[in-house]
Chain A
Amino acid sequence: MPEPRPSPARSVLGSFVLIGVVVAGSAAAFAYTAGWLSPERLTPWKMLEALAPPSGPALGHRRNHAKGICFTGVFESNGNGAAISRASVLAAGQYPALGRFNLGTPNPDATDASVRVRGIGLRITPPDGQEWRMAMINAPVFAASTPDGFHELLVAAGSKDPNAMKVFAEAHPEFAPFGAWAKNAPWTGSYAEDRFNGLNSFIFTDSSGADHAVRWSLLPEAQVEPVTQDDLKKLGPDFLEQEITQRIRSGPQRWTMTVTVANPGDPTADPTKAWPDDRRTIEVGTLVVQRIEAEADGPCRDINFDPTVLPPGIRTSDDPFPAARSSVYAKSYDLRTAEAKDYPRTVTGPKP
């Protein structure tokens, strides 16, 4: 049934309108998906804006935990973890480890004694191409129970209103355990004496296919000598980096990795809620830190310790943080790698 050709003018007009509607509609759907029509959407970008100090972010550096130092070593897996996860990294063996000791501040020039939260970024690479990346802190619980709550906290902390933090803490009672830790917990004079906690919950899948909700920590082998913040203030601005460099020059430092398994009903989606102390805890291996390198030329510099980079056998749980962190760390990584000229390397080698 051949159509009449050319079409009558009215139907041509109708056709053009239809084409216009299809094109404009598609473009609008695209813009909506991209969030351009939803200024209220909490994007990775907004999270970075909230993290940035009033003077703006330090270009070329991580947008948070900006001050840090690289390390390399091995992860000695003792095989105990294989009971609850089929991840190859938990089978007995020694696997290369790369990481970064760091301070929870967006300011790479902060003095070490001024920063309460210390962290570690860690990447373990078993030989089969799989990877396990994580980023953990010394606090026993997190400061916010949801990523949105964390954004609110950042906004309050950055607010000019002197009451903002008080208002936040009142509206968010779940902040209290973290607040108490920050205020009362003793400090240490060394990264080697710090315990680092993953805080977020993940799912381990064992070889029978059964799932186990877990959280993990790194416990220092070094003797912990509690000190006060005032004592630390008397030390140099970079004493942590100098101390760990010295210490590891005289011998490797070790942390035991423990994995704690949730009981049914334990809160997995909320990192402000610690699990009871009696939960089954398995020592899965030892992190051995053998060498320290400055960040500017070090191997951790251009690594994103994205907590969702997990080997088969470990996956994210209903905890909303790892996904939020992954999206924000990726944006931070996009920016800082593009700003490499603002944070020059000191040696000009073949590496760009």
Chain B
Amino acid sequence: MNAIRHHFSPLQRLLHWVMAICILAMLFIGVGMVSTIMPKYVPLVSIHKTLGAVILVLALIRLVTRFYYGAPPLPADLPEPMKLAAELSHYALYALMIGMPLLGWGMLSASAYPVELYGGIYLPAILPQSDSLRTLLWNAHFYLAFAFFALILMHVAAALFHALVRHDGVFDAMAPVPIHDEATRVEYKAAE
């Protein structure tokens, strides 16, 4: 990886922010839909399945861009445990972005539900019907959803900590629009 690169590529940033909105929406739609018996239940479930499938596709594209472009290094002065936490949490976020949709899809397959997306698109079953399997997957989808949300909260807190307290360029690396240009960042480094 290029050592003087301080930003994620524009494609990575685009994916990060689009997906951040989609994933947060998914978590809210998920807990919202299972708590209501109102007519909105039906469209919410339909959106949940469809958006979930879109997230799976985007996450796989994002994984490819991550291998292709890599990631800018974390600041050299960041304490080792924080670096480790950042790296591990990013792995976990990737695993959840890909895992949650697969769990949802698998759960519906094992329940012998048709996996119908918005617009009459049917996904094939990826697992045979099985009550024990669907229970396992249901539990995983349920508990991991809350773990996902908790992790995102920590991730957001950390991002804001970098942006507001440390001012160390970590936030700028993923900022939706460039906040400081490359030159500023180099100056910044030099000033350290």
Which residues from chain A sit less than 8 Å from chain B, CB to CB? Answer: 1-3, 5, 7, 12, 15-16, 18-19, 22-23, 26-27, 29-30, 33-35, 41-44, 47, 129-131, 147, 302-304, 306, 308-309, 312, 316, 318, 320, 322-324, 326-328, 330-331, 333-334, 337-338, 340, 351-352
Q: Which of A29, A322, A327 has the most CB of B within 10 A?
A: A327
- Binary flags per residue of B30-51, CB closer than 8 Å to A gives 1, else 0: 0111111111111001000000
- Binary flags per residue of B114-153, CB closer than 8 Å to A gives 1, else 0: 1010001010100001111111001000000000010001
B156 adjacent to chain A (CB < 8 Å):
yes
A30-B27, A302-B131, A324-B41 known; A2 and B188 CB under 8 Å?
Answer: yes
Contact A26 B156 (CB under 8 A): yes
Contact A22 B135 (CB under 8 A): no
Contact A22 B157 (CB under 8 A): yes
Q: What's the Cα separation between A19 and B164 when bound, in Å? A: 9
Secondary structure at the B interface, as helix, strand, loop or mixed, is helix
Chain A residues with Cβ under 8 A from B35's Cβ? 33-35, 41, 43-44
A23-B153, A26-B153, A27-B153 known; A308 and B42 CB under 8 Å?
Answer: yes
Contact A129 B167 (CB under 8 A): no
B161 adjacent to chain A (CB < 8 Å):
yes
Given contacts A26-B156, A34-B35, 16 further A-B contacts (CB under 8 A): A1-B184, A15-B164, A18-B164, A19-B160, A23-B157, A33-B28, A33-B31, A35-B32, A43-B36, A44-B37, A302-B112, A309-B113, A320-B38, A328-B37, A340-B132, A352-B131
Shortest B142–chain A CB gap in Å is 9
Of B45, B112, B184, the residue contacting A303 (CB under 8 A) is: B112
Shortest A133–chain B CB gap in Å is 9
Chain B residues with Cβ under 8 A from A30's Cβ? 27-28, 31, 149
Chain B residues with Cβ under 8 A from A147's Cβ? 37
Q: What's the Cα separation between A308 and B28 when bound, in Å? A: 22
Q: What's the Cα separation between A322 and B43 when bound, in Å? A: 12
Contact A2 B34 (CB under 8 A): no
Contact B160 A15 (CB under 8 A): yes
Q: What's the Cα separation between A2 and B111 when bound, in Å? A: 56
Residue of B nearest to A42 (CB): B37
Contact B37 A324 (CB under 8 A): yes
Contact A327 B32 (CB under 8 A): no
Contact A12 B165 (CB under 8 A): yes
A30-B31, A326-B42 known; A131 and B114 CB under 8 Å?
Answer: yes
Contact A337 B134 (CB under 8 A): yes
Q: What's the Cα separation between A308 and B44 when bound, in Å? A: 13
